[in-house]
């Protein structure tokens, strides 16, 4: 692989793993908004908000663990670095 190709691969890897915080925040925010909508629609305040937030956080953590697993595989596959 050329030097430019290696640098591009590293950059893509860093970009992928740097988005973890953004993905976690977006998942929580989407869950929160869905919960707020549910509360407004059905008058279940605050249960919809709490359940929506819990589902959003669960989705964020699921993605976090998935990326951590991918990162571990990336590290174990790189014996020359």
Q: Which domain holds residue 53?
A: 44-73
Q: What is the pLDDT at residue 78?
A: 66
Does pLDDT of 5 surpass 70?
yes
Which residue do the tokens 């993605």 mark? 63
Q: Is residue 26 part of a domain?
A: no
Phi and psi of 57, rounded to 5°? -65, -40
pTM above the 0.75 mark? yes
Q: What is the pLDDT at residue 81?
A: 47
Q: Is residue 59 part of a domain?
A: yes
Which residue do the tokens 């953004």 mark? 22
Q: Is residue 80 part of a domain?
A: no
How many domains, the chain? Answer: 1
Cβ atoms within 10 Å of 28's Cβ, excluding its own: 20
Q: Is residue 58 part of a domain?
A: yes
For 40-69, the pLDDT digits (tens) are: 999 999 999 999 999 999 999 999 999 989
Highest mean pLDDT: which range of 9-13, 64-68, 72-76: 64-68
Q: Is residue 66 part of a domain?
A: yes
Q: Is residue 24 part of a domain?
A: no
């Amino acid at each position: 692989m050329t030097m430019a190709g290696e640098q591009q691969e590293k950059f893509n890897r860093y970009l992928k793993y740097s988005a973890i915080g953004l993905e976690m925040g977006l998942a929580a925010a989407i869950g929160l908004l869905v919960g707020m909508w549910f509360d407004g629609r059905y008058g279940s305040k605050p249960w919809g908000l709490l359940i929506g937030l819990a589902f959003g956080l669960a989705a964020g953590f699921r993605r976090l663990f998935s990326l951590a697993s991918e990162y571990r595989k990336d590290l174990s596959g790189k014996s020359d670095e």
